[in-house]
Amino acid sequence: MTASRRSLLVPLVSLVGVAWFALWACAPMSTMPIPGAIGEQKNEFALGGNYTGGSGTYLGEFYGSGTGASGQLSYDHRFGKFNFGGGIFAGQPTLVGGGVFFGGLFPVGAVNVGFQVSGGWLWADLGVPVTVPLGDRIWLYTEPSVGIRSHVLRLPVGAGFRLGKHVTLAPEVAVQYSPQYAFDPTLVPATGGNGWPYSLAVTGAFTAGFGF
């Protein structure tokens, strides 16, 4: 390979790497949809907002977990024990994007356990939703997941509150970890730009849903 070709190859590979990891940021930062929120209804629209704090700097050619506020809008349809829907989202950590999801919840003893497959433009994840009923109108939930996205590993914990027949409210806290440097750990910086461990982020979210 000639020197001129090598000189063109290096910036080209760098540009592709930056674009690829930046596009991986296109994923919702809070759980979508909220496990168990649709209840006995067949359809639900949900609107949520969230704020993420953590490593928010470009380090080398790779994109961190991102910080800032974002929002999302989703629609969910239930048929039997399964659900299918989609949503859109936008904000500082997530850029602008959308996706679809398919999953289900099934009773296992005193809790409900299921699966959730989601994906969109250059992102995808697989989650295991779990809900713990605390009565007819309150429940706890989590949905640990792994995915091709800026936050590779995600662990949310939230609570759902059903107000009347149609409205649900769900506050949530989630921890995300993004090992972009897994193939070469020697490149990992000790901390992000604001003192957080690199690729560790925490998101606080609030979602309101309307079922019918």
pLDDT at residue 26, rounded to an integer: 73
DSSP conformational letter for 147: E
Q: 74 near 33, Cβ under 8 Å? A: yes
* Beta-bridge partners for 112: 107, 131
Nearest-angstrom CA–CA distance, 147 and 68? 21
Q: Which residues of the chain have pLDDT under 70?
A: 1-25, 55-66, 179-198
| Angle, CA of 179, 7 and 5, to the nearest 5° | 115
> What per-residue confidence (pLDDT) applies to 182?
47
Nearest to 177 by CA among 156, 192, 194, 198: 198
- For residue 104, the model assigns a pLDDT of 97
How far is C-alpha 9 from the chain's CA centre? 34
Q: What is the 3-state secondary structure of 52-112?
A: EEECCCEECCEECCCCEEEEEEEEEEEECCEEEEEEEEEECCCEEEEEEEEEEEEEECCEE
- Residue 70's pLDDT is 92
Rounded Cα distance between 89 and 96, Å, is: 6
Cβ atoms within 10 Å of 59's Cβ, excluding its own: 17
- Point out which residues pair with 143 in neighbouring strands: none
